[in-house]
Each structure stands twice: as structure tokens, then as C-alpha cells.
Structure 1
Amino acid sequence: MISFTRSRYNNLAKSYDVAHEHHESAILVGIELGTEAGIGSEESLDELKALTESAGAEIAGVVRQRLKAPDPRTFIGKGKAAEVRELALAKGASLAIFDDALSPAQARNLENELKIRVIDRSQLILDIFAQRAHTLEGKLQVEIAQLSYLQPRLTRQWSHLSRVRGGGAGGGGVGTRGPGETQLEVDRRRLRERLTRLKARLGEVERTRTIQRQRRLEVPYPTVALVGYTNSGKSTLMNALTDAGVEVADRPFSTLDPTIRRLKLPGKMNVMIVDTVGFIHRLPHMLIDAFKATLEEVRTATMLLHVVDGSSPLVAERMTIVDEVLQEIGAGAVPRIVVMNKADLAENPPHGNGAHDTVSISALKGEGLDDLLDAIGRHLGGSREEVSVTFPARRGDLVAMARRDGEVLSEEYRDGLVSVRARVSAPVAGRLRKAADAVI
């Protein structure tokens, strides 16, 4: 986990690390309410297993419980808490990971009951993001999300630290005043100041990214963003289309920082293709907020490729989750093609939801990629137009731009001028007309 400050916040960070020791052993805990739509509790726990292993912890056991409603004090009942404690003791586990969001009070009460560290799904995902962030922007975004998560839990942290420091003699309860309370206020103020500084720094990085995005718009290529549930094969597809060399791993969130490459479509059209972070069931809101700038690549894209693991039994549920996140970040109306990946592994390949064109592929085997490129070209073809312009013959750069972007139908040189007829994208057509108008 990223350190919060050099000394005191290192301690805070340590107790919030999921697996700061290699091969930490964890008990997973999930409840079934019987009222959930979409991904069920069993599938959600399977996903939690993959997340836990991805974070570097070993699974010592799994505890399930059916409940009408979560216990407001400990989330699970007292009897089930005793079962988790006994299992952790028997297996030598030092961590309990809950599949649902815990309130700060529930987490504190559970730690008192279980005698081991307790975290929830959101904190586990935050830890994985912290491990995977490589760029300055990614690290800033993750630390902001971690601190936002930590803020309401600082009381719990302070009680832990006061025991470590041997402070708070006499135990002090609710409403008592003294050094512990003063120190807690200092911690809260430092955390707020740290958050303010991080957000200001992230704002500077985001401004740079916005300038870069505007420059890309000046190089008039449409942008195609890859979106999808985590581990659906977006990075494999990115590599298959562009030789981008993006890390590919059979684990959640192997790609955090966006990768952008140029891709040439049939008919000479060029597009910029962007690989983005995967979405997941119960993606923490503070992460969506922190990654708004990165997800801006999705919102401003000309088109989306919604990459789906066609071999998963949860195709429909995962597609719905991605649709909901796209709506939340303001990208719900961006045109898209559904890309049914891993079609070679699917017994009965699904055909999408009917709302968008669907192409079946195997990114790993390179099957169906030509069909996909044709579909992208067809979708973006509507943005191409035919122009006839005349400008100085010395402006060979404009002719070259038309060739790169589309198709030059004819070019004729006379009296120091060149007359060009070309089929190009709307932005290039605009630039060609602008250059021609300057001659008149």
C-alpha cells in the first residue's frame, strides 16, 4: 500500500494493508440475503477468492451464512462470528475478508470478536489497485481512494495505535477527553491536509492529460476505447490488434493505467485505441471518483468496444454491471460494439443483448479479428465524407494527411496548386477545407 506520510501514516497504512506479509492466510466470509438480483452470493464469493489470491493472500477457509438482514453490530451473528474465530485459530489465519461493505463500527466489533484483522471487499480491491498502479496519476488516484476509505475509520486506527504506543491508560470511553482525543484530531487534520495536497497534485496531472487529449483530437483520428468486466480479455485484444505489449494475466485488474496505440482499419482509416481499467461487481465508489480522469478516456471516446467473456456463465449479469458503470461515468450514450471474446471456449456462444452489434472473437487465438475490424470500420464509416479542395502544391503535408486518414481519389497539379478529391474523416475534411479557404 502507498504510504500516507513518512512516519505516522506508515503505521496507519500498515494496518490497512491486505497482504503486507507475503502469503498471509485469510478466511473469506459471505452472506446470502436471498433478495439480491444479478450476481449471486456463490458467484460473488468465487470472485472474492480470485481477488484475494490476486492481492497475494492464501485462502485458509470460506464461511457462508444465510440471513434475512445483516447484523447491525457484527454483520454476521454471534454464533457465526465464533465459527469464524475457531476456523481462523485452527488454520492459523490472521485476516478475515468480508464480501460485503462493513461499517467502521462493524469492522471494529468484528476485530474484537475474531481477534484477527478484518477488511471488506472494497478494501481488498483498493489494495490490489495500490499494487498495480505504476504511473504517477495511477498512484495518486489510488492513494486518494484509500484515504477516502480510511477517513471514517480513523477512530479504529487510533485505538490500535494507542495500544501500540502504550497510551490511553485507564481505557477512556465515549465522551472522555485527553491526549488520545487530541491525537485523533491531529491524525484527522493530517489526513485531510494530505487528501487536499493529493487532490491538488492530481488536478495538475489531469490538466496535463486533458492537454494531451486535446492534442490527440487535433490529430484527427477517432478514439475507440476498450471497456468490460475485469479479466474479460481487453489487454489480450489490445495486444492482438496493435502489438502494444500490455501485461496480460489471468487475474483481476491486471491493467490500471490506460494504454493508447494507433490502429489502421481496412480502407486506410486510422483510429486511436485505448485500453482501460476493468469494471467489477461492487466496484468501490471512491475508486470510480478517483479514476474519473482516466475514465474520461471512455466518456470522450468516439466508440466503445465492450469486451465480454463469452465463456462465463454470468455473461448477462456482467454486461449489466458494465452498462451501469458506463451510465454512472456519463458514457452510457457512446456508440458501442459488443465483442464476445473467448468464443472458442463457449459451449453456446451468446449473441449479446440485441441493443448493439455483436462480433464473436477469440483474442488469444486471433480468430474473428478481421470481422471486428470490418465492424469498427462500418460503424465509423458514417463519419467519413468526400471533399474536393485546392491549395498550394507545397502543402504536401495535407495530401499526406488525407492519405493516412482515408483515401485520396484524385490529385491534380497545375500552376503551383494541387486539386485533391478525397474520402476522409470529418475532422480531416474540416482541416483540408480550412487550408483551401486560406488560399482564396
Structure 2
Amino acid sequence: MNILRLLSVLLFLLLSLPFLGHSQSYIGNTLDNNSGVHSLLLNPANVVGSKTKFEFNIISASAFVGNDYLGVDFRDLKNIGDGFSFDSDVAKTPTDRNNFFGNADVLGPSVMFRLNEKSSLGINTRVRTFFNIHNISGLFYESISEGFDSQSDFQTEMEDLSGTVHAWGEIGLTYGRIILDDETSRLKIGTTLKYLGGAGGLFTSSPQLSAAFNSQAGILTTGGTLDYGYTSDFDTENIEFTDFTGGFGADFGLVYELRAKSGVTSDSLYTLKPYKFRFGISVLDIGAINYQDITEFNYNMNGSVSVSEFDEKDIEDVLNDNFQGTEVIGNRSLGLPSSLQGFIDYSVSKKFFLSMHGAFSLRDASTFKANNIINTISVTPRFESKWLSIYSPFSLRQYQSGIMWGVGFRSGPFMIGSGSVLSNLLSSSSKSTDVFIGFKVPIFKD
């Protein structure tokens, strides 16, 4: 396990996930009043007062990946499928502070159901993988990933470099309760308590790292310090969930609905009444997983090395042979991607809605040994009915220029969508993409 493995797995995920067809997460779907279990991923208070009295999720998967260094032309997927090249298939925007990020989210067998008029319960199983790398030189990244053979001279100064890959599973128990329900208002609160099973991770960090490449001499000169480490037996090429490290996490949320008096249709507190305006706020992914026997290295990077050594040795041997370093084995925590999420949902008519959703990381990009989400603001018009919903989100994403535009739909037990598919098909240089798909069994109220 080494720093090159970290860089290579980021590149692999960045380039392969979009083309294999594998969201911060399920973009557009979680605001649907009929989305059931998936709405709990946005706000656990959604478990109560749902339009479904029972729902069983069979399997759902969502993925989100992006960067601010290279852009892909999705309009030419056939040629890209024949083989990917840094030189001809991408548009590059190198800086000293490029960023790469993504996540995969698989929601396994999960249920939600009503307990009584004022409370509901949900149980979910989930497997997640996150990766982030922040403030890395794009040219340095490309050289490490592709080799130095065709690289021209460059010089770069990187500050607050950080990167984390982390995979874990979750078993979540969600409870929600209506604490206010009258003719004009409804207030719901909810929480999800999670048992976490860590499959492992790796991380790297440097407060300052310089690199200068002399192509004629074939020499890479570096300066500064470099930390990296990994959990016991973690392999990015073969992530296994057979030997978990336990931990705990939590989500908290509330949802407020405002109705006109004419919307009251029953004296029952639990009977759904149309809302005109809905607001929700939640804090998600509080917690961390504490791993034992993490191997962590610290290197003084002041020195020079022939790039031919990268062809003959792995990166650990290159570092050990050319730089002074120390190794420490101990217990470390890897933090979850904690975030603050909020939404506003306006009912234009009985079946047409307009919503705004904001997702903001509570982890700074430079936080060591923790993942973070990408700050996003989305506006989504949607049509929804019991058996069919169609939504088209427009999003502004951190590290991205321009508006991301997507479309998705839910038809009975099946859902599919993307928050970026339409903008990717219109752009010649797409720098992020996402997609989701799922199958479930909803049982609606009469």
C-alpha cells in the first residue's frame, strides 16, 4: 500500500465510473414526496408523514465523480471507449491546487413503515466509498499517474495537499415523529443512528510540497514534507467488507410544512394534507471510525530522484531509498463526510413542485483523515404523482464552472436519473458526472 496507489485509485475511479454507468447522492430523487426510503438519506424526519405506508428497497446505487483538472467530451463516447489518453481525449486546466472527488453509494435491503399516527420507523443497509484529493498540482498528478516519459519541464508549489479514500458499511435505524400538527402547520423531527463497519482507507497530507521536473536530465527535485498512511490490509484494488472495524454515526433533521386552511381534509392527525410550502434542515454523517494498527509514514522530501526509479521500483522503495522518513503504527480515526443540508419545496399546483436544495460540507477540504462532500446548490422543478415522478435538477457545484443539468424519473418500483446527463451531452469538456438507479416495492396509502 503506498501513495502511488492512492493516486492511481483516484484516477481509476475518475475515469472508469462514468463510462461503466455506475450523487452526492440520488440527485433530484430524494425530494420527491413518494421517494420513500431514499428521502431519509436527505433528512431522517421524512420517515414520518410519508405517502407510502410501507416500502421495501431491493437495491439502489448512486455514484458521483468529478474534478477541476481535466474535462471529457461525452459526445464522443465511442472513441473514448476505444482507449483513454491524457494527451488527446481531455481538455486540461492545470493549477497548483487541482481537486479530484467522488463517491459511490449502494443502498441495500431497507424498509420504512408507520408505527402509529404520529411516528414511523426505518431500517436501512448501505455501503459507501468516498475519495477526495485537494490542492494537488495537476501536472504532478498526471506525471505520477501516467509516467514522466512524455512530460515536459514543470515546477510547482503545493500547499495544504490532502487526500483520503475510505470505504465503509452502515446499518441505520431511523425514527421520526410529528410534534406539531394543526390546520396550517406540521413539524416533524427525526434521527438515524448508525452502526458503521469500516472496510478501511488510506490518506495523504502535506502542508507544503514543491516539485520541479527536468525532462532533459530525467530528474525530479522535491521539497517539503509528506505524510501518508493506510489501515491494516487495505487494498484499493480489492476492497473487502469481510473484516469490519466498528464505529457509530448519526443523522438529525427536521421538516416543517405550511398549509392553507382549505387544505385540511380530515380530523386525523396522520392523514396527509396538501402543503403549500415545505422546509427541511438536517445534519448528516456525524461520526468517525477508529482503526487500530494504522501504518503512517512521514518523509522529509528535500532531495532529488531519477524518474527512471519509478519504472524499476514501487513508490515506497523510491521514498525509502532517496528520502529520510519515519514510520509509526498506531490507532487513528477516519472521519465521515459530515454535512449540513437544507431544502425549500414549493407546491406550484397539486402535481407540480419547485424546490431548492443546498448541501454544504462541515469538513474543511484540508482536514486530515476525513472525507468531505462537494458544496452544491440545486434548483429542481418536478412533476409527481403516486406512480410517476419526473424531475430535472439544475446545480452549481464547487470546483465546477457552469450549471449542471440533469433529468430523472420514478415509475412505480423503478427509478433512474442523473443530475448532470443533459449538460454533459451539451458540453465538450465535462468535469463531473453522476448517475443513479434503483428498484423497490412501495405500498401507498389508500
Taking structure 2 as the reference length, what is the TM-score of the superposition? 0.23
Taking structure 1 as the reference length, what is the TM-score of the superposition? 0.23
* Structure of higher CA gyration radius: 1
Higher helix fraction (1 or 2): 1
Ranked by relative contact order (alpha carbons within 8 Å, sequence separation 6 or more), the top structure is 2
